[in-house]
Amino acid sequence: MSIEKDLERQREDEEANKSAIESAADSLYKPGAPSIIHRQSERGPILDKEEVNPSRTFIPPPPKVFPDEVSVKKTNLVFRRLLIAAVVFFVLSLGAAAALYFYGNNIISSRNIDIEVVAPPSVPSSDTFSFDISVQNGNNSDLIKSVIVVDYPEGARYVDDNTKPLVSERIEIGTLGKGQIAKKTVSARLFGEENVEKAIKVRFEYQVENSNGHFSKDKDFSVILRLSPVVLSIKALDEVNNNKEITLVADVISNSNNILSNVALNVVYPFGFTYKQSNLEVETGARGEFPLGELRPNETKTVEIIGTINGQSEEDKVFKFNVGTADPAHIEKVTTSLAMFVHQMSIRGDFLASSVTFGSGRDYGTLGESLHGIISWKNTLNDPINDAEFVLKISGDLFDTREVRAGSGFFDSNKSSIEWDKNTDKSLEEIAPGQTGKFDFTIPLFEYDEAIAKRITNPKINLTLDIVGQRVTQNNVTENIRSSFTKTVPMVTTLLLDAYSTHSTGPFSNSGLIPPKAETKTTYTIALALSNSVNEITASELTAKLPNYVTYEGQVSPSSDKVSWNESTRLLRWNPSSIPARTGYGSSPRILYFKVSITPSRTQIGQTLPLVTNISFVGKDAFANTDIKESSLNVTTSTKEGKDNGFEGGVVVE
């Protein structure tokens, strides 16, 4: 009972707490409440009594919709749409599954194509490399217009022509039926360095019936080059003195059972190296490009490079050698590398600064004479050098070992070397800092006839000076030191200039009397003959002058030679350009013929008249790098035929 009373009391309190407005609202909206008549207000006109409808009742506004109710309605709409979409997706999936079940076996996919390559993991470089390719069609439809394409790496060559690059190869298959397998064997030659991995791509291209599309599937594999077809060996000093001539020798040795074509050696010279010459004598040597041509099995080709090196003390210089095959269009440039070698050379300061000079003051020798050389040296260290030894090795063409004179040293004919040590010169037992000294030597040279008889061209003498000693530092630490340099002494060529006149021989027909008669015209053929012994002569020019009473007839032979005549200076100029070695020795001299005429005056009766005067030749010895100059006696009316027949025939008669 007490609980019911408490609840009733609570409801009474709530009724009491209602505001007057709330109570009015309750009575207003209570069923059966009286109508309310609108009265005059400030916002509108006052209604007349007859306009008031006593029966008009108040219509309450529509119930208010709260936000929670709207959210519920929207959620239901979303769920309904999702349900519809799920049903549609289910129906479509069911249809796709049915289609796949009934028609899926006719779908063509590259996943159903299997490419298999059987190849050795490694192969000797340059040898024939064969591998098998099999392609299986796992589809239930035929593949048409199918092709196997093999893309080769750089360095691949055709088996039957190793000079021709092999970039790609297409193998026609045609129609590959369902379930069928196509097998092909492919061969090539791979060139490259040893232990280099070469990647090869196999691609199967195909089409399908009733489609213009092109489809493909790839398969990559690689092979390692096991052996290089060439071996590259470099011989060079590890330490050299600054600003000295050095020699680098590269031996290219065949390591292949096949003939290698278009082989080339490329060398990257370091900064400070100045190329002078090589044994191949190619113009591209200055760029470090040496074509070697064909290399047969077990054959060795040698490239000897000579130059000078400049740099700071303790500076390292790196030479990079690369031998390989070249493009036939550029036989000097390596396109596929077969072997590489890097040689590091350190520049060391001269502990004994030395030089070799010659008494003539020239850097070349003359056959038939002797080379009188002087070795000058100086200890440039701040420490003494003990037990110094100087060894001068002599090699080359055309010197007489029996007549070599060693000065204070000892010449060993077995080694062809001159030696100076403390046994021959006491001053070498201990060389103080700053101490200087000199040694002299003489090398007799054979005559030019010897070189011509032996058919020697570009003769030279090579002098290699090796110096060793023991450096004793202030801490009494002994260090073995060494210095060396090579000097090449070229032999200069000789040019013979023979000038003469003829009347009855030569390429022209001459007229007039022999001997010449006063006031009667006589024509002559002038011959200028050049013979060159051992070195090529370039940039050559010959000039000759005609006296005033001699007429230049304008005929020359050969007509292709470059000849000019200046009437004002009366100077004839001939540019023979290059004159090869041994021209005139075992072959014909280089001869220019031209025609002149005279009409002697009576005052010249009894005289032999000069026809050509001031004959001089200048040119450049391409090997010895020195100027060649030669001159000849005047050419007169005394002809070569007359001299050969024992009479002059050149005196003007009346």
Q: How much of the chain exceeds pLDDT 90, in percent? A: 48
Q: Is the pLDDT of residue 52 over 50?
A: no
Mean pLDDT of the chain: 84
Q: Is 72 helix (H, G, I), strand (E, B) or coil?
A: helix
The confidence score (pLDDT) of residue 320 equals 94
The answer to whether 592 touches 576, Cβ cutoff 8 Å, is yes
pLDDT in tens, 497-517: 999 999 999 999 999 999 999
The mean pLDDT value for 229-253 works out to 85
Q: How much of the chain exceeds pLDDT 70, in percent? A: 85
Multiple choice CATH, 495-644, 3.40.50.300, 3.30.465.10, 3.40.50.10810, 2.60.40.1170: 2.60.40.1170
Spans of all domains in the chain? 2-51, 110-225, 232-345, 352-490, 495-644
Q: Which residue has the tokens 């050095």?
A: 246
The CATH code that applies to domain 232-345 is: 2.60.40.10
Euclidean distance between the first and the last CA atom of the chain, given in angstroms as a whole number: 190
The confidence score (pLDDT) of residue 266 equals 94
The answer to whether 126 touches 229, Cβ cutoff 8 Å, is yes
Residue 188 Cα distances to 157, 166, 625, angstroms = 6, 8, 50
Q: How far is 554 from 550, CA to CA, in rounded Å?
A: 12
The confidence score (pLDDT) of residue 500 equals 95
The answer to whether 426 touches 414, Cβ cutoff 8 Å, is no
The mean pLDDT value for 410-424 works out to 94
The mean pLDDT value for 415-437 works out to 93
Instruction: Count CB-CB contacts under 10 A for residue 592.
Output: 21
Q: How far is 2 from 10, CA to CA, in rounded Å?
A: 12
Rounded to 10 degrees, the C-alpha dihedral 284/287/292/293 comes to: -60
Instruction: Count CB-CB contacts under 10 A for residue 524.
Output: 29
The mean pLDDT value for 118-124 works out to 84
Q: How far is 148 from 229, CA to CA, in rounded Å?
A: 30
The answer to whether 199 touches 215, Cβ cutoff 8 Å, is no
Are domains 110-225 and 495-644 of this chain identical in fold?
yes
pLDDT in tens, 246-255: 889 999 999 8
CB neighbour burial string for 128-160, b if at least 16 within 10 angstroms, e if fewer: ebebebebbbebeebbeebebebebbebbbeee
The answer to whether 60 touches 29, Cβ cutoff 8 Å, is yes
CATH architecture of 352-490: Sandwich (2.60)
pLDDT in tens, 528-582: 999 999 999 999 999 999 999 999 999 999 999 999 999 999 999 999 989 999 9
Q: Is the pLDDT of residue 69 over 70?
A: no
Query: Does the CA dihedral 44-49-50-56 come out positive or negative?
Result: positive
**Domain 110-225 in this protein, CATH class:** mainly beta
Q: Phi and psi at residue 582, in whole multiples of 5°?
A: 70, 15
Q: Is the pLDDT of residue 343 over 90?
A: yes
The confidence score (pLDDT) of residue 36 equals 45
